[in-house]
Each structure stands twice: as C-alpha cells, then as structure tokens.
C-alpha cells in the first residue's frame, strides 16, 4: 500500500500489519519513531506531537543518550575540580557500586525502575550511608546528562535516598573522656583534648601546624587538613569547604596541657606539625588505630570512634545554649543539617529543664508574688467543706419548702 502523503513526516504500513512513523529531525537526519503503532491514526498523532516538540525547541537527539554510563561517569569525574579525598571517594563509589550495575548501559537506557532495583539490592549488601552516597553521585551524574541534553529526565527520583540515615551515637559522659585521656599515651593526650573541646576532625588535627595553634590568643585556626587516600597516600590540602576554614576558641582549662605538648611532642620549627607519630612522621589514622582500639577497650567502650569525641564537644556546646549559627561555625559546616543534630536535649540538660518546670509548678501551688496563699490543707480545706455544706443545706431547704 502506498504511503499517505503528509505535510510533516510519513507513515507506512509494515508487513507485520503495524505502522511506522518517520520524520526529518532538526539535524537533517530522517529518523523513525522509537516504536511502531497499532493503527495509522496512532502513528499520525505521534508525528503531530513530534512536530510540536521540534517547534517548541524541545527536541532531543535520540542518539545522544547512547553513551555508555561508565564512559560518561568517568569523564564526569575527570572534568571536575575536586579535593583529592572527594575524588577518591567518587571513584571508589563508581567502581564498587555504580559500574557493576550500570556500566554497560547507555544513559538513555537507565530508567527509574532500574535505579529502584539497584538501590534495594545495594541496601541488602552494604550500609545505608554508603548506598546514600552512591545514589547521590548517580543522581548528580544523571543531572549533568540532562543539562547536556543527552537524556530528557533524571531517573534518580527516590525521595530521601541521597540523605544518609546515620543513627545518632550515644553521648558519653565527660568522666569517660577524662578516663580516655588518662589511658592514652602522653603524646596523644592533647589530641584527645582538642578533638573533644574544639570539635576538630581527625584530618584537621593531623594537618595542624604550630602557627595555627595560637595559645596566647586561645584559638586554633583551621586552614589545612591531612587526607589519607586509598593505598595510604597522604595529601596535605585545604579544608573541603569554605566553612571548614574557621577559627575556634579553646577552653582556657586545657591550654596548659597544650603548651606542654608543644614543648615535648610537636615537630620542631616555626611551621612544625603539632601532632606527629613516635618517629616524627605524619600522624596516620591507620597507625593510631591500634593505640585507640586498646584504649577504648580498657575504658569499657569497645565501639567508640575517635570521631565520637567531636560529638561530645558539639553536644556540650549545644547544651550550653549555643545558637544554630554558632554551632555551624564551630563545627565547620555550611549546612545547618548536621548542626541541628546537636540541638536535641541531652539527658543531663533535660533533667535541668524538668527541675525548672517542677519549681514553676511548686511556686504556682504555693502562690506566686502578689497572689493570695491558699494552703492545700487546714483552714482552706475547712472553708471548702463549709461552702459545700452551705450548698447542701440550701438544696435541702428548697426540697423542704416543696
């Protein structure tokens, strides 16, 4: 059967009985519809919509999304200016979690259902935090593909999937921090104090140098950090974000011990490192782990992480009445999400609040300033009984009159 002549595109009947639509793309290439149609009318309707799409400027080259995900994702990381540690994290997530699932798929072939199935499978294998980071990376890569007009929409649309659901770690009492401080080798005691009371991260402590620990002013200036990459390579770099560059005030009570540490254990020289290993090298997390594991076991906290000391300091700062902005500055966070965690009521603080509420109730019961005191027993009880007696007598009198 001869093809019916149309103003835009063409429709022809195939030997199978179904209908094929073809149209001239804005790039000058004659293209078929991605699927066939059960009727000529359906094919013609598709051509009308395709013509309108081209006229609106919304047309997208259907061949653009035929790039393999692994190729595009690798170039996505290569083209970005990233901190060494961030780049290492992205490449690890890509290699271990995304490429095995999507590496051989084209960008256009990755659908919403594929992402949902992948996330569910990963949650059964690794922790939720790792899956959230991998999902967020996948979402960012596919968002760029949308901007590059390689795909029409981002298939990563699972609400909340990119936010790690990190369980809140329990608050250890200061007595335990002091016990840790007393059990750790002397050269690491200042490390424990700064990690707790200035909220510095491990990398910020390991990268700290003498000029930035100003004990005269009583502040520590965070301007660099030490990143330990996969394979053990160490890189000294600036903080990951602008908020990470900050000045934190040091409690006066720990300054004498910090002075002692600078005299006895810090690297010599004007720009010497504050914390070094026993042989004078960089302080490595991997090297400190053996010492930390022994100490936390000795104090009865075998699951304690060094990062939990920062949690103690942040929680104490929040309990002291620090505002959200003050917490963000002290912690080095640009987003309020993490700082909000520490504005919960700690158990000790909650007891103080409960005592204050109880005191307010006691004052109200006893009668506040300017109020008439009405004891709960004695004459007050007698007066209430008298009034009730008068009421009953009046009722009885009315009944008697009837």
Give catalytic residue positions: 201, 307, 310, 333, 342
Reported residue count of the chain is: 402
Cβ contacts of 111 within 8 Å, gap of 6 or more: 155
Q: Is 290 exposed, middle or buried (0-12, 13-18, 19+ CB in 10 A)?
A: exposed
Please give the span between the terminal C-alpha atoms of the chain, in angstroms, as a whole number: 109
**Structure tokens given for 23:** 């149209």
Strand partners, 105: none
- Residue 268 CA: distances (Å) to CA of 65, 226, 272: 57, 19, 5
Q: How many CB atoms lie within 10 A of CB 98?
A: 21
Strand partners, 219: 214, 249
Cβ contacts of 279 within 8 Å, gap of 6 or more: none
**What burial letters (b/e) apply to 180-213, b meaning 16+ CB within 10 Å?**
bbebbeebbbbbbbbbbbbbbbbbbbbbbbbebb
Question: How is the beta sheet containing 19-24 ordered, strand by strand?
Answer: 10-13, 19-24, 30-32
C-alpha–C-alpha distance, residues 34 and 355, integer Å = 71
- Residue 361 CA: distances (Å) to CA of 4, 350, 351, 366: 88, 17, 15, 9
């Amino acid at each position: 059967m001869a093809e019916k002549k149309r103003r835009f595109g063409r429709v022809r009947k195939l030997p199978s009985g179904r209908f094929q639509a073809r149209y001239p793309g804005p790039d000058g290439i004659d293209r078929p519809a991605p699927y066939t149609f059960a009727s000529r009318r359906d094919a013609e309707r598709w051509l009308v919509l395709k013509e309108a799409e081209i006229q609106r400027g919304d047309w997208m080259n259907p061949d653009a999304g035929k790039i393999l995900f692994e190729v595009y994702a690798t170039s996505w990381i290569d083209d970005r200016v990233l901190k060494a540690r961030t780049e290492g994290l992205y490449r690890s997530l890509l290699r271990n979690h995304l490429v095995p699932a999507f590496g051989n798929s084209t960008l256009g072939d990755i659908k919403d259902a594929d992402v949902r199935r992948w996330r569910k499978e990963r949650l059964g294998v690794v922790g939720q935090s790792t899956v959230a980071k991998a999902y967020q990376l996948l979402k960012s890569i596919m968002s760029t593909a949308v901007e590059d007009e390689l795909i029409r929409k981002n298939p990563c649309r699972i609400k909340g999937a990119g936010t790690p659901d990190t369980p809140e770690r329990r608050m250890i009492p200061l007595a335990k921090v002091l016990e840790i401080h007393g059990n750790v080798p002397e050269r690491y005691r200042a490390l424990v104090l700064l990690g707790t009371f200035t909220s510095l991260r491990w990398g910020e402590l390991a990268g700290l140098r003498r000029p930035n620990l100003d004990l005269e002013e009583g502040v520590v200036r965070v301007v660099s950090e030490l990143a330990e990459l996969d394979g053990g390579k160490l890189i000294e770099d600036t903080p990951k974000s602008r908020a990470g560059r900050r000045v934190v005030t040091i409690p006066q009570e720990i300054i004498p011990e910090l002075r002692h540490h600078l005299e006895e254990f810090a690297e010599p020289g004007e720009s010497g490192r504050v914390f070094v290993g026993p042989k004078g090298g960089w302080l490595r997390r991997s090297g400190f782990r053996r010492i930390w594991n022994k100490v936390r076991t000795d104090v009865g906290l075998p699951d304690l992480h060094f990062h939990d000391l920062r949690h103690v300091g942040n929680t104490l700062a929040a309990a002291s009445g620090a505002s959200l902005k003050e917490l963000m500055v002290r912690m080095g966070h640009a987003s309020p999400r993490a700082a909000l965690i520490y504005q919960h009521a700690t158990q000790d603080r909650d007891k103080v609040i409960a005592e204050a509420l109880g005191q307010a109730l006691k004052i109200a019961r006893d009668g506040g300033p300017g109020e008439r005191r009405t004891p709960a027993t004695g004459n007050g009880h007698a007066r209430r009984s008298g009034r009730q007696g008068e009421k009953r007598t009046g009722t009885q009198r009315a009944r008697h009159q009837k």
